[in-house]
Structure 1
């Protein structure tokens, strides 16, 4: 569990651990748990579903998105692997 990086510390460690047990990445779990602590879990749950479906994107667009997010190792991946990488970062 990430600790003590100034304002990047966890605000809801219990939710973070639950998300990690469910398979979320460290970054994703921290982002969700901090948002839930800040805005309330009910509010965070209503936010999803606005990004569109990665299955409709081209491979070039998926690679561009991976680059925007600072991910590495995406250049040799197939479309399904890129989608999985983006969903689970």
Structure 2
């Protein structure tokens, strides 16, 4: 897909640099489109994934559309969620 065919990317240079580093198109676009005044700020007050039970991690993974997760252990689910 050419630059003209994809949705608007606010910071093309940052997007391309992230793609060169191996980030997925989706993740690179999310980062490149984050306003500067929000970037780098810590998220919400949710506990760390290590404090969640396996079923909560599984439901979160399903909610965001991850596949191949039904037989994963807790540690594997955490890794998959963090690398999405």
TM-score tier by shorter-chain length is 0.7 to 0.9
Give the whole-Å Cα distance in 2 for the aligned partners of 1:22 and 1:10: 17
Q: Which consecutive unaligned segments of at least 5 residues does structure 2 have?
A: none
1:3-59 CA-to-partner distances (Å, cap 9, x unmatched) read 534xx3322132223334555443222111111xxx22x42212x242320000011
Match in the other structure for 1:66: 61
TM-score with structure 1 setting the length: 0.71
Structure with the greater alpha carbon radius of gyration = 2
- TM-score, normalised relative to structure 2: 0.75
Tell me how far apart the structure 2 counterparts of residues 56 and 2 of structure 1 sit (CA, whole Å): 42
Question: C-alpha root-mean-square deviation of aligned residues, in Å?
Answer: 2.3
Q: How many residues align?
A: 82
In 2, are the aligned partners of 1:2 and 1:10 still within 8 Å (CA)? Answer: no
For 1:30, the equivalent position in structure 2 comes to 29
Match runs of 1:1-89 below 5 Å: 3=3, 4-5=5-6, 8-22=7-21, 24-35=23-34, 39-40=35-36, 42-46=37-41, 48-50=42-44, 51-89=46-84
Structure 1: 5+ residue stretches without partners: none
User: Following TM superposition, by how much is the alpha carbon of 1:84 offset from its aligned partner in structure 2, in angstroms?
Assistant: 0.8
